[in-house]
Amino acid sequence: MSPLHELGVAELGRAMATGQTCSVELVDHLLTRLETRQSLGAFLHVDADGARAAARAADARRAAGEAGPLLGVPLAHKDIFVTTDAPTTAGSKMLAGYRSPFDATVVARLKAAGTVSLGKLNCDEYAMGSANENSAWFPAHNPWDVARVPGGSSGGSAAAVAARLLPASTGTDTGGSIRQPASFTGISGIKPTYGVCSRYGMIAFASSLDQAGPLARSAEDCALLLSAMSGFDERDATSAQRPPQDFTAQMLQPRAGATAAKPLQGLRIGLPREFFPAGLSGDVAAAVRSALAELEKLGATLVDVSLPRTELSIPVYYIIAPAEASSNLSRYDGVKFGHRAARYTDLLDMYKKSRSEGFGAEVKRRIMIGTYVLSHGYYDAYYLQAQKLRRMIADDFQACFGQCDLIAGPVAPTVAWKIGEQGDDPVKAYLADIFTLPGSLAGLPGMSVPAGFGEQAMPVGLQLIGNYFDEGRLLHAAHALQLATDWHRRAPAGT
């Protein structure tokens, strides 16, 4: 058997089911690795005692005859999900030391499935960023090159999985924050259809966009985790009223007319011309084209399509998301919870100083933009127009799905950049989301699958986008690709 840290979720489940290892042994092994790799900056909090106790409980459940693919499997949660057994800061000084009286639904469901949490993972403050450089505490580093970013905002989640500190983690995706870090670190990550995973207990950035999802080594692992995470939650008004789904079964379901040699026979994959512009980095384009060629070998047919409003997704997103952030973050005023300034003269002064001290530069920037576009005289000119364009972007996708089953392209225009390289130009970082924002604005499911390597041997991800509630088809295509290639099995040097 391979070293324990090299095994994915499904492999670990099978190893524990056959008695080759146990949760306690696995947790001890990973905690030992964590001690020597703290400089990666992936973790904000490690709960060693709690993890060992949960591992013992999982082993006892197995000994009593209980079974389950996730029982005893270690993972960790993005620090945007509230938890009772670990502090939750959302990567912000505003929530330093905060402990929630309840678990987020995603956390509770994974805990019920028997997973063991090792702690909380680094992220951009309030999930606002594309590099994990906006964390109030310290940046996370890309294990393929520690001088580079791991992507954001779920950078700690991606870095921990890529560095083999964990087999899987949770993340959130507002404008690409699962898919982009998965691409930058050479792992798999899926953002399901908006509403598939409950947002209850997930600290809000932009309520009409935020969605939880898993990051793991493979599509099979993502399917196992998503099956446990998803499902209707009456405590979340935006939760889709759909019964629990077994995404693993959907992933393995053969297509009509498919064969073992061509498992994707009959699958039409659309290639939007706007996802392959002249400005796309050559190394990224080559890796994506190589992955598409593999999909063709598996029986898929490539179809040229168009998403004509792709370029508008950036201004639309950066009006709608900051507007919702301005509203959501207004609760952090220093009164009931969160940071309160030590010295102030009156209530208004307390508000000003508490928010000025507690929020970082990027959060303040987005609050100011959001407040502006929602203000009297500008709401109709900016916010209302952005919402109309959002509807048109969603309609463009539906027109494409009349010609194809899935849409494919790059996740980001380049591989991961150097830490600090875009610090003085936030707009440059915003532009890196050009290929992930359209699907987010439309509320569609999307995932990043390892597709090879670009310059300096940095990972490149292939983005697959499906129609609403078509996660099974997404995972099936990704799984077939991973059975035919080994990109997802490659690890950074020294892991």
Domains, the chain, with CATH or none = 4-256 (3.90.1300.10)
**CB neighbours of residue 51 within 10 Å:** 24
For residues 22 and 72, what is the distance between their CA atoms, to the nearest angstrom?
7
Based on the number of CB atoms within 10 Å of its own CB, is 123 exposed (0-12), middle (13-18) or buried (19 or more)? buried
Name every residue whose Cβ is closer than 8 Å to that of residue 52 and which is 6 or more positions away in sequence.
24, 27, 28, 31
Closest CA to 458 of 286, 295, 296, 274: 286
Distances, alpha carbon 193 to alpha carbons 188, 398, 437, in Å? 17, 14, 14
Please indicate, yes or no, whether the overall pTM of this predicted structure exceeds 0.85. Answer: yes
| CB distance 387 to 257 below 8 Å | no
Percent of the residues in the chain that have a pLDDT greater than 90, as a whole number: 92
Amino acid at 456: Q
Active site residues: 78, 153, 177
pLDDT, tens digit (0-9, with 9 covering 90-100), for 285-332: 999 999 999 999 999 999 999 999 999 999 999 999 999 999 999 999
For residues 151 and 78, what is the distance between their CA atoms, to the nearest angstrom?
14
**Does the structure show a pLDDT above 90 at 37?**
yes
Bridge pairing between strands 43-46 and 301-305? unpaired
Q: Which two tokens stand for residue 73?
A: 């499997």
pLDDT, tens digit (0-9, with 9 covering 90-100), for 358-398: 999 999 999 999 999 999 889 999 999 999 999 999 999 99
Closest CA to 459 of 223, 189, 279, 271: 189
pLDDT bucket at 252, cuts 50 / 70 / 90: confident
